[in-house]
Amino acid sequence: MKFFVDTADTDAIKELNDLGMVDGVTTNPSLILKSGRDILEVTKEICDMVSGPVSAEVVATEAKEMIAEGMKLAKIAPNIAIKVPLTWDGLTACKAFASEGHMVNVTLCFSPAQALLAAKAGATFISPFIGRLDDIHLDGMDLIADIRQIYDNYDFRTEILAASIRSVNHAIESARIGADVMTAPPSVIKSMANHVLTDKGLDQFLKDWAKTGQKIL
Ligand code: E4P
């Protein structure tokens, strides 16, 4: 499974990237706001740091303007994936970008029907939002499983990018079902290292080690 980091915080990306944990990055308008940075400047910095796809999202709602925005974002670096919302205009823009050879991430996907349309429009990535479905008491994992089955039935090449991941469980369930990629905040990726028995075991080892009176260095 590929790991994308869902943030525009360049320090957090660098820390994970130095450990080889970053296969790509996703941003969105809310994450750009949180960073407090200029979209073109921060996206360029991320693209220079990471060799994989970096999603940058258009904010227009009509296809023609989305295409103009996407073309400008694509000029930032060759590893830009233009992110468009899953609307009819977004699908129109997706098709135009894909035909020009650009990577496209179709975002805000909440149904298998939407995912099927995105694949037919040539999306590189489809982003089903797990956490936001859970927020309204639906099972985001059912959506990942449905899309996996549909894409496999017809050999669609669009990659399933499990998004809106809020917990380690979301990440692991997505991997178990067979999502190609997950994008998660740095905190979730780091918390994948945690286990209560690891902490307990380490605590015991350190106590016993102290009793030996020895030192390694
Ligand atoms: C994905 O590309 C989105 O940026 C992100 O995963 C949304 O997550 P949220 O629902 O936690 O805001």
The three-class DSSP label of residue 146 is helix
Tell me the residue length of the chain.
Answer: 217
Q: Which domains does the chain have, with CATH numbers?
A: 2-212 (3.20.20.70)
Taking residues 39-49, what's their average pLDDT?
Answer: 98
Taking residues 43-71, what's their average pLDDT?
Answer: 98
83 is catalytic: yes
Question: Does the beta carbon of 105 sit less than 6 angstroms from any atom of ligand 1?
Answer: no
Question: Does the beta carbon of 163 sit less than 6 angstroms from any atom of ligand 1?
Answer: yes
Distance between CA atoms of 98 and 126, rounded to whole angstroms?
Answer: 13
Nearest to 66 by CA among 54, 77, 79, 56: 56
The three-class DSSP label of residue 4 is strand
Tell me the CB-side half-sphere exposure of residue 41, using CA atoms within 13 A: 4
For atom 8 of ligand 1, the residue with the nearest CA is: 164
For atom 5 of ligand 1, the residue with the nearest CA is: 164
- Compute the mean pLDDT over every residue in the chain, rounded to the nearest whole number: 98
The pLDDT of residue 26 is 98
Coarse DSSP helix, strand, coil percentages of the chain, rounded to the nearest 5 percent:
55, 20, 30
2, 14, 64, 83: the catalytic one is 83
- Taking the CA of residue 166 as reference, the ligand 1 atom at the shortest distance is 11
Taking residues 9-36, what's their average pLDDT?
Answer: 98
Taking residues 132-158, what's their average pLDDT?
Answer: 97
The pLDDT of residue 185 is 98
Strand extents, DSSP E, the chain? 2-6, 24-26, 54-57, 80-85, 103-109, 125-128, 159-162, 181-184
Question: Does the beta carbon of 28 sit less than 6 angstroms from any atom of ligand 1?
Answer: yes
Question: Is the Cβ–Cβ distance between 85 and 108 less than 8 Å?
Answer: yes
pLDDT-derived band at 104, boundaries 50, 70, 90: very high
Both tokens of 118, joined, read: 């995105």
The three-class DSSP label of residue 23 is coil
Percent of all residues in the chain with a pLDDT value above 70, rounded to a whole number: 100
